[in-house]
A and B are shown apart, each in its own frame.
Chain A
Amino acid sequence: MEIFKVVGFAIISVILIVLLKEERKDIALVLMVVSGVIIMLFALSKITPIIDMLNTLINNSGISKDFLVIILKITGIAYIVEFGKNICIDAGQTAIATKLELAGKIIIVSLSLPLIASLVNVLTGLV
């Protein structure tokens, strides 16, 4: 089972990072980034069939695809921004982390503008 590989990998990388944190904090930081990247790559490779299934469902049932596309994009942005933010926090740079989060939020809102616009349209159609 691959989950064991992942957990083992994470444990090893944590040990190595703790080892190096004392001596060379920069290399430890790089180690953090790398291990995070590799684990995320693994997780993403497992997501692909799920997203394919969702796409097929939506296409077959004839609902407009735009919703799903926007929501997927927003989820992807959320993932990446979270990742970067956590690394910044772990490196001790919370200020940069906050700015990064701000940038992510603004991009998400700008992406979801059509959704919110259609919601407002529909709501005013109620009245």
Chain B
Amino acid sequence: MDIDLLFKIAGIGILVAVLNQVLTKAGREDQAMMTTLTGLIIVLMLVISQISNLFETVRTVFGL
């Protein structure tokens, strides 16, 4: 029960949203897009390990 993971992802999400807003308002749209992408990639890397964990557990439990 990693509630920390949730908060981490949520935190990154909020951060990215804020940064996006700030950079768009400041006129640097390309940088805004890059931060968005970076945030997404970081979040995905955090998540992929969990997903592979899930699939491995299902495989062992159900003998697939």
In the complex, which residue of chain A has the Cβ closest to the Cβ of B12?
Answer: A27
Q: Does A60 interact with chain B (Cβ within 8 Å)?
A: no
Q: Is A115 in contact with chain B by the CB < 8 A criterion?
A: no
Main secondary structure of the interface of B (DSSP, over half): helix
Of all chain A residues, which has the CB nearest B54? A37
Main SS at interface, chain A: helix
Over the window 59-92 of chain A, the binary record of Cβ atoms lying under 8 Å from chain B Cβ atoms (1 yes, 0 no) is 0000000000100110111011000000000000
B14 CB → nearest A CB, Å: 7
Q: Which of B13-64 contact A (CB under 8 A)?
A: 13-14, 16-17, 20, 36, 39-40, 43-44, 46-47, 50-51, 53-55, 57-59, 61-64
B57 contacts across to A, CB distance below 8 A: 41, 44-45
Q: Which residues of B contact A57 (CB under 8 A)?
A: none
Task: Give the chain B neighbours of A72 by CB distance below 8 A.
Answer: 62-63
A77 vs chain B, min Cβ distance (A):
7
Q: Is A38 an interface residue (CB 8 A)?
A: yes
Question: Are B1 and A27 within 8 A (Cβ)?
Answer: no
14 A-B Cβ contacts within 8 A? Answer: A16-B6, A23-B14, A23-B17, A24-B13, A24-B16, A24-B17, A27-B12, A30-B43, A30-B47, A31-B6, A47-B61, A51-B62, A72-B62, A79-B58
A residues at B contact (CB < 8 Å)? 2, 5-6, 9, 12-13, 16, 19-20, 23-24, 26-28, 30-31, 33-35, 37-38, 40-42, 44-45, 47-48, 51, 69, 72-73, 75-77, 79-80
